[in-house]
Structure 1
Amino acid sequence: MKKQPPLLVSQNSEGFSVIVRGKWVKESVPLLQSAFTSLTCKPHASYTFDFSSIETFDTHGIMLLLHHIKKLEKEYCIVQTTGASDAFKTLFSICQTHYPHEVPRPKKERMVLSFLENVGRTMMEGYKTLASFFSFTGELSHAIGALFFKPANIRLKATLYHIEQSGAGAIPIILLTSFLIGVVIAYQGASQLEKFGANIFIVEMITISAVRELAPLLTAIVVAGRSASSYTAQIGVMKLTDEIDAMSSMGFSPWNFLVLPRLFALIISLPLLVFFADVVSTFGGMVIASTRLDVSFVEFIDRIKETVALKHLVIGLVKAPIFGCIIATIGCFRGFQITSNTESVGKYTTISVVNAIFWVIAMDALISVFLTELKL
């Protein structure tokens, strides 16, 4: 008796009919593979596989069937199955689920198109961030305005706590930084003024540059590095642990409890820190002026009284609350941007410090240009 082939292919008006017969197991794979030579692949044709005549099967036979079915599907053929037993359907479904998929080759990126895509994506992200920031500052302004009608809602203890943490905690680093800035200005000025015998002008150089520009700017940068990152991390962790949602659900305003105490703390503490930095940086300059240029402390102070206008000190102190408002707003805003994963805490903490320092420097430049135009 002649052995029947494992595949019987016939064509009808609806397409091709493929009857699968025999043993579809590991030992028969070479014979089964050669049987597929009778199965021609015509694009967009219809193929119906009949599994009712299969005697035995295992994963090797089914994976071979799947391999050739996938080849037909790549040619946009319509493949249907019929006559399968429950056991065959179960194993066929498992093999189909775990069938290895081809990894598509990465498309070659064109430099110009990739650059334009990155520019567009960056602009869209910047637009979304800007819109979110305006929304945040609008709600913050509303919360501040509401306090004028209900001053009792001001959380005085929380504000004092943040003044201690953000203000008093920054004194040691500001002390060291300000003293070194005064020393550097005096050293650089002394080497130039000695050439012209104008030693006494070191007083104006140190005092005006320190109290008007350098002390407020460097104090704000130090506070931005400490407080902006701290505010972002604290609010971000509270958001990750759903404390902010719990606070809102209990009727407590996150603005009154989280944002406003931090904002008021920096607005109050930064002018005090700047005044402290003014004194220390001036003292550092006095030390170098005394040792390098023979300008005594008494002469230095008398020269300040005679030639240095009070407006320079006032301008530096006026900048301080503006810088404090910028640092606190950015730090809190980035904290609320943190999403539900710990990686975003580090990401937005870094971004908040960079943004705060940048906008402090930018605002200082704008104020300097504005005051120069006003002849102040």
Structure 2
Amino acid sequence: MAFVARPVGALIFGHFGDRLGRKRMLVTTLLLMGGATVVVGAMPTADQIGVTAPILIVAMRIVQGIAAGGELAGAALFSTESAPTERRGFWTMFTSLGGGFSIVLANATLLAVGAGLSDEQFASFGWRIPFLASALLVVVGLYIRLKIDESPVFEAEVTVESGRGGGKSKLPFIEAWRHQPRHMLLVAGVSIMQAAFTYLGATYFANLGTGQLGLTRNTVLGAGVAGGLCWALGVVIGATASDRFGRRPVLLTATAGAVVWALLVFSLLESASAGEYLLLLCVTLLFAGLEIGPINVMLSELFDTRYRYTASAFAYNIGLVIGGAVPPLIGASMTAAYGAFSFGLFLAFLCLISLLGAIGLPETRGRDLSNVLASRRPAP
């Protein structure tokens, strides 16, 4: 449900982000995400309030999905719109790094909490600690977001009269589909690979490690910390390389490599030792980070300012739903029925879609964000 809610959140926050400004929406998404997370941590048990407990948990997950739908693309475009042209990849990288560090922090927190608690204590109340502790991150994030200024590119756009090609769009989603439908479809396609690799690494690997491979919880959590660091390393490499060589070459390299890796990783994972499990997880998340680095800055450079938030958030989250929700959902059953290589073939097919999307996208490095549509027209 949280994944399905993401495109809805993208439409809501994208619309108002293009109408009212990026900063307001980023403050709102932070409060929604943080509030829902804290509520989950404080949720009474089913023994206390009955069936209301799971219903409320699902409701909070939907709220989190809606908030996430407007968060990442909005934060990325805010960074891109505020960065100097020649170093957009580098500065947008810091927004992207949050995904890798969230994997690190989540696994490290569970590792620390679980180290001092028995399995029974962890199941009883220990799992609540990370959720409740997230309130501190919300306070810090809110302070930072309230202090920043609105994106200069957005401010410049809304001061231009609509008749001269600027101003606020009344219906950003409709305008985006009218002017750049192909780019929206290509972004959705190219986003599938990193979503699949990220969520398989963060969830499917963990379940398989503790289940089929018989690894201890601490071993799996420790590998998750290392994997998150590799994801962040991939972001750094991908983002900085995109400033030097262009967005498109880095995307092509990452997605082409992912097609090959998808064919190998799950066959190797079936009987992996602890060390092999760590290596396979790290390489998988490294590939995801390599694509995240250039794609997050490219989201802003592809679309016109009038509907940039809506178009980038919606297209990106459609790819996220396909890549992030479907493979972990069918992975175990497909592997059990047809073997690990069949699941690798399916994952390679998804990566091939991303590769074709990368082939279809234009190079955007150095593009003038204030007038994307004009920059795409041939010179007279």
Q: Normalised by the size of structure 1, how large is the TM-score?
A: 0.28
Query: Is the strand fraction higher in 1 or 2?
Result: 1
Structure showing greater Rg: 1
Higher relative contact order (CA 8 A, sep 6+): 2
